[in-house]
Structure 1
Protein backbone atom coordinates (compact mmCIF):
# COMPACT_ATOMS: atom_id res chain seq x y z
CA UNK A 1 0.00 0.00 0.00
CA UNK A 2 1.46 3.31 -1.08
CA UNK A 3 1.16 6.63 0.76
CA UNK A 4 -1.65 7.90 -1.47
CA UNK A 5 -3.77 4.80 -1.01
CA UNK A 6 -3.14 4.94 2.76
CA UNK A 7 -4.38 8.54 2.88
CA UNK A 8 -7.45 7.67 0.82
CA UNK A 9 -8.18 4.64 3.01
CA UNK A 10 -7.86 6.73 6.18
CA UNK A 11 -10.11 9.46 4.74
CA UNK A 12 -12.82 6.97 3.79
CA UNK A 13 -12.68 5.29 7.21
CA UNK A 14 -12.71 8.71 8.96
CA UNK A 15 -15.80 9.94 7.09
CA UNK A 16 -17.68 6.66 7.54
CA UNK A 17 -16.89 6.77 11.26
CA UNK A 18 -18.06 10.40 11.46
CA UNK A 19 -21.38 9.45 9.86
CA UNK A 20 -21.80 6.74 12.51
CA UNK A 21 -20.81 9.00 15.42
CA UNK A 22 -22.68 12.16 14.33
CA UNK A 23 -26.19 11.15 15.50
CA UNK A 24 -25.01 10.15 18.99
CA UNK A 25 -26.13 12.47 21.84
CA UNK A 26 -27.76 14.81 19.32
CA UNK A 27 -30.46 17.08 20.73
CA UNK A 28 -32.83 18.58 18.21
CA UNK A 29 -34.96 21.69 18.53
CA UNK A 30 -38.02 19.47 18.91
CA UNK A 31 -36.37 17.51 21.76
CA UNK A 32 -35.77 20.76 23.66
CA UNK A 33 -39.16 22.24 22.75
CA UNK A 34 -37.59 25.35 21.22
CA UNK A 35 -38.38 25.18 17.51
CA UNK A 36 -37.29 28.38 15.77
CA UNK A 37 -39.80 29.58 13.22
CA UNK A 38 -38.69 28.82 9.66
CA UNK A 39 -36.40 25.92 10.60
CA UNK A 40 -37.14 22.19 10.60
CA UNK A 41 -37.97 20.74 13.99
CA UNK A 42 -35.25 18.13 13.52
CA UNK A 43 -32.50 20.74 13.24
CA UNK A 44 -29.73 20.15 15.80
CA UNK A 45 -29.64 22.48 18.79
CA UNK A 46 -26.87 20.82 20.82
CA UNK A 47 -24.49 18.80 18.65
CA UNK A 48 -21.19 18.38 20.62
CA UNK A 49 -19.25 18.62 17.36
CA UNK A 50 -15.75 19.04 18.82
CA UNK A 51 -16.11 15.94 20.99
CA UNK A 52 -17.50 13.95 18.05
CA UNK A 53 -14.58 14.96 15.84
CA UNK A 54 -12.09 13.82 18.50
CA UNK A 55 -13.94 10.52 18.99
CA UNK A 56 -14.11 10.03 15.22
CA UNK A 57 -10.38 10.61 14.83
CA UNK A 58 -9.52 8.14 17.58
CA UNK A 59 -11.84 5.39 16.39
CA UNK A 60 -10.90 5.90 12.73
CA UNK A 61 -7.20 5.71 13.60
CA UNK A 62 -7.67 2.38 15.38
CA UNK A 63 -9.74 0.96 12.51
CA UNK A 64 -7.17 2.22 9.99
CA UNK A 65 -4.28 0.63 11.88
CA UNK A 66 -6.10 -2.70 11.91
CA UNK A 67 -6.98 -2.46 8.20
CA UNK A 68 -3.47 -1.35 7.23
CA UNK A 69 -1.97 -4.16 9.28
CA UNK A 70 -4.13 -6.72 7.53
CA UNK A 71 -3.34 -5.29 4.10
CA UNK A 72 0.41 -4.97 4.66
CA UNK A 73 0.78 -8.38 6.31
CA UNK A 74 -0.87 -10.12 3.38
CA UNK A 75 -3.31 -12.04 5.60
CA UNK A 76 -6.05 -11.13 3.13
CA UNK A 77 -5.19 -10.47 -0.51
CA UNK A 78 -7.19 -9.55 -3.59
CA UNK A 79 -7.06 -13.21 -4.65
CA UNK A 80 -8.83 -14.18 -1.41
CA UNK A 81 -11.73 -11.94 -2.42
CA UNK A 82 -12.03 -13.45 -5.91
CA UNK A 83 -15.20 -15.48 -5.34
CA UNK A 84 -16.04 -15.96 -9.01
CA UNK A 85 -12.66 -17.17 -10.30
CA UNK A 86 -12.00 -14.16 -12.52
CA UNK A 87 -8.31 -13.76 -11.67
CA UNK A 88 -5.86 -15.99 -13.52
CA UNK A 89 -3.84 -18.37 -11.35
CA UNK A 90 -0.22 -17.52 -10.56
Structure 2
Protein backbone atom coordinates (compact mmCIF):
# COMPACT_ATOMS: atom_id res chain seq x y z
CA UNK A 1 0.00 0.00 0.00
CA UNK A 2 1.10 3.53 -0.64
CA UNK A 3 1.48 6.46 1.72
CA UNK A 4 -1.81 7.97 0.53
CA UNK A 5 -3.68 4.81 1.45
CA UNK A 6 -2.09 4.74 4.90
CA UNK A 7 -2.94 8.41 5.46
CA UNK A 8 -6.56 7.74 4.47
CA UNK A 9 -6.73 4.75 6.83
CA UNK A 10 -5.26 6.83 9.68
CA UNK A 11 -7.76 9.63 8.98
CA UNK A 12 -10.67 7.17 9.14
CA UNK A 13 -9.31 5.60 12.33
CA UNK A 14 -8.89 9.07 13.86
CA UNK A 15 -12.55 9.95 13.25
CA UNK A 16 -13.79 6.58 14.52
CA UNK A 17 -11.72 6.85 17.70
CA UNK A 18 -12.99 10.40 18.24
CA UNK A 19 -16.44 8.97 18.91
CA UNK A 20 -14.84 6.41 21.20
CA UNK A 21 -12.92 9.03 23.21
CA UNK A 22 -15.57 11.76 23.52
CA UNK A 23 -17.79 10.08 26.16
CA UNK A 24 -14.84 9.52 28.51
CA UNK A 25 -13.33 13.00 28.48
CA UNK A 26 -15.71 15.35 30.23
CA UNK A 27 -18.59 16.07 32.55
CA UNK A 28 -22.05 17.04 31.46
CA UNK A 29 -23.75 20.14 32.80
CA UNK A 30 -26.08 17.94 34.84
CA UNK A 31 -23.11 16.20 36.50
CA UNK A 32 -21.41 19.48 37.36
CA UNK A 33 -24.67 21.05 38.60
CA UNK A 34 -24.37 24.15 36.41
CA UNK A 35 -26.92 24.02 33.59
CA UNK A 36 -26.84 27.06 31.31
CA UNK A 37 -30.24 28.39 30.29
CA UNK A 38 -31.13 27.34 26.75
CA UNK A 39 -28.91 24.26 26.64
CA UNK A 40 -29.61 20.62 27.29
CA UNK A 41 -28.42 19.04 30.53
CA UNK A 42 -26.23 16.56 28.65
CA UNK A 43 -24.11 19.29 27.02
CA UNK A 44 -20.51 19.39 28.22
CA UNK A 45 -19.86 21.85 31.02
CA UNK A 46 -16.18 22.48 30.26
CA UNK A 47 -15.10 20.91 26.96
CA UNK A 48 -11.35 20.70 26.69
CA UNK A 49 -10.96 20.18 22.96
CA UNK A 50 -7.17 20.34 23.02
CA UNK A 51 -7.00 17.49 25.52
CA UNK A 52 -9.59 15.51 23.56
CA UNK A 53 -7.63 15.89 20.31
CA UNK A 54 -4.37 14.82 21.97
CA UNK A 55 -5.92 11.76 23.64
CA UNK A 56 -7.70 10.86 20.42
CA UNK A 57 -4.52 11.17 18.38
CA UNK A 58 -2.67 8.88 20.78
CA UNK A 59 -5.42 6.24 20.67
CA UNK A 60 -5.67 6.45 16.87
CA UNK A 61 -1.88 6.21 16.54
CA UNK A 62 -1.76 3.06 18.66
CA UNK A 63 -4.57 1.50 16.62
CA UNK A 64 -2.85 2.48 13.38
CA UNK A 65 0.46 1.04 14.60
CA UNK A 66 -1.26 -2.28 15.29
CA UNK A 67 -2.82 -2.18 11.83
CA UNK A 68 0.48 -1.26 10.16
CA UNK A 69 2.40 -4.04 11.92
CA UNK A 70 -0.32 -6.53 11.03
CA UNK A 71 -0.19 -5.57 7.35
CA UNK A 72 3.51 -4.91 6.82
CA UNK A 73 5.23 -7.28 9.26
CA UNK A 74 2.83 -10.22 9.34
CA UNK A 75 1.67 -9.77 5.74
CA UNK A 76 -2.07 -9.98 6.42
CA UNK A 77 -3.99 -8.42 3.54
CA UNK A 78 -7.62 -7.52 3.04
CA UNK A 79 -8.23 -10.76 1.15
CA UNK A 80 -6.89 -12.77 4.11
CA UNK A 81 -9.70 -11.52 6.33
CA UNK A 82 -12.13 -13.81 4.56
CA UNK A 83 -10.09 -16.89 5.49
CA UNK A 84 -10.87 -16.25 9.16
CA UNK A 85 -14.64 -16.15 8.58
CA UNK A 86 -16.68 -19.35 8.84
CA UNK A 87 -17.79 -20.95 5.61
CA UNK A 88 -21.55 -21.34 5.16
CA UNK A 89 -23.31 -23.48 2.61
- TM-score class, shorter: 0.7 to 0.9
**TM-score, with normalisation over the residues of structure 1?**
0.78
Write out aligned runs for 1:40-55 (5 A): 40-55=40-55
Greater share of helix residues, 1 or 2?
A: 2
- Match of residue 73 from structure 1: 73
CA distance in 1, matches of 2:26, 2:86: 43
Query: What RMSD, in angstroms, separates the aligned Cα atoms of the two structures?
Result: 2.0
Contact 2:28/2:43 (CA < 8 Å) preserved in 1? yes
- Match of residue 21 from structure 2: 21
Greater share of strand residues, 1 or 2?
A: 1
List gaps (5 residues or longer) in structure 1: 86-90
* Cα drift, residue 84 of structure 1: 8.1
* Cα drift, residue 25 of structure 1: 3.6
Contact 2:35/2:41 (CA < 8 Å) preserved in 1? yes
List gaps (5 residues or longer) in structure 2: none
* Cα drift, residue 36 of structure 1: 1.6
CA distance in 1, matches of 2:86, 2:58: 36
CA distance in 2, matches of 1:12, 1:74: 22
Larger Rg computed on CA atoms: 1
